[in-house]
């Protein structure tokens, strides 16, 4: 049995989650919590405690009783998953930081686990606030290992994986002395890419020779380079298909 319910799916005062500062997280959380608390299924209880709110549970069990259907652990879990999924689809449009959105989709998207995603965001900012010097040094060391390991290849996919993880580390070090400035981020990812495609990096830097501040905007450089890498991959795929076709013909 599945209950037919409707509820609040939007909030005009909802602040988008930008993964930038704890203030942004707190403002986002205030709006998101408000939306879920007003939902007819009391989704805030599901997301925070991963259980069905008592009032909602009573209504569902009453429906089961009226229909002479058995209520058991299986039916309870089915409704819990259903509510968690509803919350997921309310949450995801509010996550506007591309890196964090992809992280949450990768970890929790298959099961639409809003509870897990919600807890991850909370843990990130609570950890950031309570970070000790040793915690920060460890994160910094882990980032260094990631940079030293580099990308698996110079493809758009592998470079994007490298950059996303690098940005995750930087976000975790937000508001600390360990956060990398834009210039350092740009230099690191250009250095990693140069190990796979030195000719492209030389050409890209050469085109920027007249702009002494070209590497100060990481986002702009990354978006331009990512587009080029995707174009290169498309051409490479087309050439590979043609070669296979020529061999078979």
Residue 218: CB atoms within 10 A of its CB come to: 23
- pLDDT one-digit tens code per residue, 29-73: 999 999 999 999 999 999 999 999 999 999 999 999 999 889 899
Q: Name residue, tokens 């919600």.
A: 118
Query: Residue 26 is encoded by which pair of tokens?
Result: 């707190």
| Backbone torsions φ then ψ of 195, nearest 5 degrees | -70, -20
Q: Which residues contact 3 (CB under 8 A, 6 or more apart)?
A: 59, 60, 63, 79, 82
pTM, full prediction:
0.54
d(CA 99, CA 121) in angstroms, rounded, equals 13
pLDDT of residue 41: 94
Q: Which is more confidently placed, 213 or 133?
A: 213
| Backbone torsions φ then ψ of 150, nearest 5 degrees | 70, -160
Q: Name residue, tokens 């005062």.
A: 13
Residue 102: CB atoms within 10 A of its CB come to: 16
d(CA 120, CA 113) in angstroms, rounded, equals 11
d(CA 167, CA 187) in angstroms, rounded, equals 13
Given a contact cutoff of 8 angstroms between Cβ atoms, the answer to whether 7 and 38 are in contact is: yes
- pLDDT one-digit tens code per residue, 169-182: 888 887 788 899 99
């Amino acid at each position: 049995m599945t209950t037919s319910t409707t509820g609040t799916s939007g909030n005009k005062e909802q602040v988008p989650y930008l993964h930038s500062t704890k203030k942004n997280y707190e403002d986002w959380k205030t709006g998101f919590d408000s939306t879920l608390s007003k939902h007819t299924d009391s989704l805030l209880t599901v997301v925070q405690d991963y259980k069905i709110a008592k009032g909602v549970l009573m209504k569902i069990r009453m429906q089961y009783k009226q229909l002479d259907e058995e209520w058991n652990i299986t039916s309870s879990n089915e409704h819990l998953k259903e509510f968690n999924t509803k919350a997921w689809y309310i949450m995801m449009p509010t996550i506007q930081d591309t890196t964090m959105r992809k992280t949450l989709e990768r970890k929790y998207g298959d099961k639409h686990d809003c509870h897990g995603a919600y807890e991850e965001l909370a843990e990130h900012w609570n950890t950031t606030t309570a970070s000790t010097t040793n915690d920060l040094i460890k994160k910094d060391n882990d980032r260094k290992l990631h940079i030293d390991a580099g990308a698996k290849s110079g493809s758009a996919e592998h470079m994007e994986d490298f950059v996303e993880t690098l940005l995750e580390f930087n976000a975790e070090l937000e508001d600390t002395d360990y956060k990398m400035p834009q210039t350092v981020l740009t230099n690191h990812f250009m250095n990693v890419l140069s190990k796979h495609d030195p000719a492209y990096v030389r050409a890209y830097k050469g085109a920027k020779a007249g702009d002494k501040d070209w590497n100060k905007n990481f986002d702009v450089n990354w978006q331009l380079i990512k587009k080029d890498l995707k174009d290169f991959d498309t051409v490479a795929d087309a050439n590979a298909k043609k070669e296979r076709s020529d061999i078979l013909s």
